[in-house]
Structure 1
């Protein structure tokens, strides 16, 4: 397998609302003839509202907790203020103050008092107008629940709601809901996702290289491959949007173990469109997929195909650095140098992988229908760590491995042969032994050392796993709790199988050396 090297640069509402009718002014209460009543206390509008609200609540209390029949009873009229001692009764006017017009507001003399006798429905409409203002204020302050009950006065019609869902379509996780893997609508998918894909250019003193990336946040975080930007150093990184705008970017963090990286647009515009991330665990063989990227500098290139395999162990290495080992999604869609870091979409426009490498017969052959993408679930996990800390941690088992086979219960399987166990490692604490053959992890079949390494790297420190092990011809299960891989542990968890001497191949070869040797043999033959 070879990584995909970077190439040198060469409406309106149906029923508009109407303003509520202005309430008629209320009549003032008659004042005693003598002596004159003291001037009412001057209250601020907020104090008036508080007293009025308290009075209304007190009036409504029996309707909320009492029998339903009392719900529409008119509130009692306010009592007549007693005349001061020694004063005469008013010479004119009714014995009690007249009620305000239906739907009116409380008297200006007592702005906090309950209305004398408005019709129930008119009072309800006034409450609707009043509580609308209350809801607005409480939403800002974080207390919208208190006002909800006042709008309708009945707790029986209330139900939980989610502010997060307001204004969203019924299904906002699928960019193209009408497209399926059986009948993909690729033109619609391409149109829906194109604004989320970028071309990446890295310029250094050694030259210029290109790759692809996918926008994963509105503030300009872009997910790509480590080998696209690992050589940036103090060089310049720019991204080109699908509309042609060129933006400066900085490297947020890289992870050679998974060949993933995150870059950040500097002074990101506010119209960036992040892609929708799907679930790579749900990807199945035969599913329709689409790769979008910048192959050979040809931006916005779309290719389609199917998923040829899942959990395909793939190891890539750049310039003698740490090998990136993943259980990749294998695709037959054409992927070429420059596609690295670009998104792989499913038929509904969700990102399910990050294209990263291809298998070729020679460095000049390009795509032969064997492309590989890093599963998006792993990519999302690593990206979150890179954004938060600038680096990623990986799970650690604590063994060196070699490809091999094991037989138990009259069944022979390929697996990862344990060649050494690190002291005080999770493997040592779980009781793994030299010459154990690990044939599965959490029920997933392990085909060799690369496969097991990829599964472990896709997990997190503290995760628990069950290993199916063959020891002395017997199959057993071993529970292990993974730890964080030490920085100096290197690649000990992944060792290639030792080639058979009779094959004519040199010993001690890494998978990359073996592949290069195979290519040389093909060219010589």
Structure 2
């Protein structure tokens, strides 16, 4: 075994239970990606919606509608509602890619902070009288909408539109890496309809998070208020806000359907961008939601009933290619948890790059007998010499069932959990060896490369 560190959280080999995705396409001229290990349904990054005039094809069953003019102000654009008719074609050709992992390319906390320049925030609740049982969605939409932006990108592959959130008063905006990868020009339109040029401060393809900065930001910006994804429970009421199908300021509501859902998608190659092709696999233990998420929602906000950011919308599940006409929102969308977003975004704001935690194992889906029953987990195929896993005594053949108190359902689940941790964090790792459960304390280090 080489002494060199390599990311232990590599995607499992074929046969893993988790689905494998392709990245969402940014430009309208891209061809649909092939789906891998396609089950009855697939999940894929939310594609950026082709910009007006980009020339996306209309489905055979849809009556062609004239291309609406570009907006001068944000708001409801009745003339653009015709674009909804071509959703199926956008998803099939422009790109929602079905994936086994939960990432999207457009696209209830208790502890809250407001994202500020130093990342410290303030203890405020935007909608103080909100309740999960009876959310005041009017108040939530009015409060959060000024913090959500529409992003326009252009490059060799064409043009597209996505979403983002205002991160601080210095003009930083957080979105998905797949929204801006490969873009040669980036613009950001605020809620007041004013458009600004922007540049990419940093992009982390391994977590699908990117940070932009307005080149000449206005004096007054409204940063989004942060919640804590760690405090979420299944059933919490949520709202998705973004720029689906180019319809900026669109809000949809739903609930948290599941937590820590392992999702894997294909990220674009380093330095080439999704306009050029696909690269490494992105694995996220995502927040699953029933709120409708569509092309263009990538990078947008998922907020709780108090108006606090609890995730960045990144991918959707769609039916297989044989049912491409039904590949729009089917009530299964995924968001990157806000705690992970903050961990990465703050580093990108500070230095333009992000470090990632390293455990030091190569995992595969596994199962271990415990007493008269069995538990699923991540079987250790290899242990890197000198890694945190090796130092903690983990061995080949061990089946990891928990990390930091969270259940490990398989290889991709372990990858997602490790990537959500900070470098230097000490976490308990529970594993099964010879039918006996054991726990080791592991201090994660930074992954090389």
Please report the TM-score for the alignment, with normalisation by the length of structure 1: 0.61
**Paired residues for 1:291-370 under 5 Å:** 291-318=240-267, 319-361=277-319, 362=321, 365-370=327-332
Q: Give me the whole-angstrom Cα distance separating, in 2, the residues matched to 1:450 and 1:278.
A: 25
1:185 aligns with 2:185: no
Spell out, residue by residue over 1:54-112, the C-alpha distance to the aligned partner (whole angstroms, 9 max, x if none). xxxxxxxxxxxxxxxxxxxxxxxxxxxxxxxxxxxxxxxxxxxxxxxxxxxxxxxxxxx
The answer (yes or no) to whether the contact 2:263–2:286 under 8 Å persists in 1 is yes
After superposing the two structures, state which structure 1 stretch, 391-400 or 1-10, moved more: 1-10
Q: CA deviation at 1:326?
A: 1.2
1:397 aligns with 2:359: yes
**Paired residues for 1:474-489 under 5 Å:** 474-487=436-449
What does residue 473 of structure 1 align with? 435
The answer (yes or no) to whether the contact 2:343–2:422 under 8 Å persists in 1 is no
The answer (yes or no) to whether the contact 2:242–2:301 under 8 Å persists in 1 is yes
Q: CA deviation at 1:207?
A: 0.9
What does residue 374 of structure 1 align with? 336
What does residue 262 of structure 1 align with? 211
Q: Which has the higher contact order (CA 8 A, sep 6+)?
A: 2
What does residue 9 of structure 1 align with? 51
Q: Paired residues, what number? A: 325
- Secondary structure of the residue aligned to 1:195 is helix
1:227 aligns with 2:227: no
- Secondary structure of the residue aligned to 2:389 is helix
The answer (yes or no) to whether the contact 2:235–2:257 under 8 Å persists in 1 is yes
After superposing the two structures, state which structure 1 stretch, 329-338 or 356-365, moved more: 356-365
What does residue 407 of structure 1 align with? 369
Q: Give me the whole-angstrom Cα distance separating, in 2, the residues matched to 1:228 and 1:446.
A: 30
4+ residue runs of structure 1 moved beyond 4 angstroms? none
Whichever structure has more strand as a proportion of its residues is: 2
Q: Give me the whole-angstrom Cα distance separating, in 2, the residues matched to 1:422 and 1:219.
A: 42
Q: Give me the whole-angstrom Cα distance separating, in 1, the residues matched to 2:193 and 2:404.
A: 46
Q: Give me the whole-angstrom Cα distance separating, in 2, the residues matched to 1:205 and 1:477.
A: 51
Q: Which ranges of structure 1 fall in alignment gaps of 5 or more residues?
A: 11-170, 488-525
Q: Give me the whole-angstrom Cα distance separating, in 2, the residues matched to 1:303 and 1:312.
A: 21
Q: Give me the whole-angstrom Cα distance separating, in 2, the residues matched to 1:200 and 1:377.
A: 23
Q: Give me the whole-angstrom Cα distance separating, in 2, the residues matched to 1:239 and 1:443.
A: 40
Please report the TM-score for the alignment, with normalisation by the length of structure 2: 0.71
Spell out, residue by residue over 1:297-341, the C-alpha distance to the aligned partner (whole angstroms, 9 max, x if none). 110000000000111111111343121111111000000011000
**Paired residues for 1:97-246 under 5 Å:** 173-232=124-183, 235-246=184-195
- Secondary structure of the residue aligned to 2:143 is helix
What does residue 378 of structure 2 align with? 416
Q: Give me the whole-angstrom Cα distance separating, in 2, the residues matched to 1:348 and 1:462.
A: 32
The Cα RMSD (Å) is 1.2
After superposing the two structures, state which structure 1 stretch, 379-388 or 401-410, moved more: 401-410
Q: Give me the whole-angstrom Cα distance separating, in 2, the residues matched to 1:206 and 1:373.
A: 26
1:284 aligns with 2:246: no
